[in-house]
Amino acid sequence: MLTETTFYYLRHGETDWNKERRMQGATDVPLNATGVAQAHRAKEALRGRRVETICYSPLSRAHDTALIVNEALDARLVAVEGLRECGFGVWEGEVRADWYRDWRHRAITPEGAESYVSFMARALAAVNEALLNKGPVMIVAHGGVYWTVREHTAGAEGTIPNAVPIRHDPPNGPGSAWKTTWIE
């Protein structure tokens, strides 16, 4: 179960491997020039919003995105190890192919990779750990980590874009749903 509190989610800015559709996973691939510019646009979109804590994946693409947006937010920064992207084992660095769909459907797990089920459990635990911090919290992490948020909030379908902030507000009564707002 996802902790019911208002929070923001921001996928890191673009990397060269994003552009090439390579599976980054746990490989520490830095932001490219486009990714840095995206992070600066996100910073301006977030300017004036109240964020008390930014929890980020320790991978440099998320950490650097968090540092840039924090120029406008002046929030407390907290690294959360569990917010790392899924480890894809021997297929890290490979261009996305049919194996990826099979992995998401729990049919295979590449050698040295996390299973889909294990990854989703880790990601949910990490998001909830982040949400224990003084809020509102912004989570700066990865597209895969967002799958667990989407699963519990009916958030954005498909792959979320790089460095476009999303605000999530919890249900406000019986029968109500999470509210998801894109900030651009």
Residue 2 domain flag: no
Evaluate whether residue 28 is within a structural domain.
yes
Which residue in the list 12, 63, 142, 168 is annotated as catalytic? Answer: 12
> What local confidence, expressed as pLDDT, does residue 156 receive?
62
Query: CB under 8 Å to 109, separation ≥6 — which residues?
Result: 89, 103, 115, 116
Compute the distance between CA of residue 140 and CA of residue 109 in angstroms, rounded to an integer.
26
* Beta pairing, strands 137-141 & 7-11: parallel
Query: Which of these, 56, 59, 63, 55, lies nearest to 26 by C-alpha position?
Result: 59
Q: How high is the pLDDT of residue 99?
A: 86
* Tens of pLDDT, residue by residue, the chain (184 residues): 999 999 999 999 999 999 999 999 999 999 999 999 999 999 999 999 999 999 999 999 999 999 999 999 999 999 999 999 999 999 999 998 888 889 989 999 999 999 999 999 999 999 999 999 999 999 999 999 999 999 988 766 678 999 999 999 999 988 889 999 999 8
Which domain CATH number covers 163? 3.40.50.1240
Q: How many other CB atoms are there within 10 angstroms of residue 98's CB atom?
A: 8
Residue 157 lies inside a defined structural domain of this protein: yes
- Residue 11: partners with Cβ closer than 8 Å, 6 or more residues away: 140, 141, 142, 143, 146, 160, 161, 162, 163, 164
The active-site residue, picked from 14, 63, 85, 142, is 85
Does some domain include residue 120? yes
Amino acid letter for position 6: T
pLDDT at 155: 65
Tokens standing for residue 139: 């989570």
Q: Which strands, in side-by-side order, build the sheet including 166-169? A: 76-79, 53-56, 137-141, 7-11, 166-169, 179-182
- Domain hosting 37: range is 7-182
Cα 103 from Cα 92, distance rounded (Å): 13
Look at residue 71 and tell me if it is in a domain: yes
Q: How many domains does the chain have?
A: 1
**Within a domain: 170:** yes
Kindly state whether residue 103 falls inside one of the protein's structural domains: yes
Q: Is residue 137 part of a domain?
A: yes
Is 12 annotated in the active site? yes
pLDDT at 184: 87
**What six digits make up the tokens of 99?**
């194996």
Q: Is 85 a catalytic residue?
A: yes
